[in-house]
Amino acid sequence: MLFNLEKQDSASKKNAPKFKIWLVNVKDVDFDQWPKAVDATLPTVILKAGKKWNYLDSNPTTINPSEAPGQSPFNGILTLTPVIEGITKKSLQWIRSNSGEDFIVVWERCADGQKFIAGNICSMGMRLGYTNIGTLDGGIGGIALELKGQECPEPFYFYDGELEVEADTP
């Protein structure tokens, strides 16, 4: 049995992948102008007039993009699992208002700034839900989210577009 193990230093944790994440409700996307992917890359996503992306302030090590095979050998299903640390009135209201909604999601790998996008004209977005609200693994309070895509031959692409973000409201 091991006792009194030293706490892991922060330098040893730097290899964990870190991501930032943005999302927009599929109702705010102009699918009539959805671009064609070239070399597995989307150049942009056109939003309806006045609509903007929302930045999701999640723990950057929890997003964990993962594509699993679907029923067809040509399809995959993408899942993202961001965690919002802490529970505020605003974050709790947001998850209550948006759970079950479909989103186009962009995530950026912090190590090199490469962006990826999930949810498209085929899958019509990723469905937002939560797996836990309250005390999470490690004893931290927060909201564990799940964004799950539909079975699709191209569940995600690289993304080169801009992300004009909705201004935060206090």
Write out pLDDT tens, residues 116-151.
Answer: 998 777 777 899 999 988 887 777 788 889 999 887
Euclidean distance between CA atoms 104 and 113, whole angstroms? 19
- Start-to-end C-alpha separation, the chain: 49
Cβ neighbors of 160 (< 8 A, separation 6 or more) are 41, 42, 43, 44, 115
Residue 7 has pLDDT above 70, yes or no: no
Euclidean distance between CA atoms 142 and 85, whole angstroms? 4
pLDDT digits (tens, 9 = 90+) for 28-67: 999 899 899 899 999 999 999 999 998 888 877 777 777 7
Euclidean distance between CA atoms 107 and 76, whole angstroms? 18
pLDDT digits (tens, 9 = 90+) for 13-30: 444 557 788 999 999 999
* Amino acid, res. 44: T
pTM for this entry: 0.81
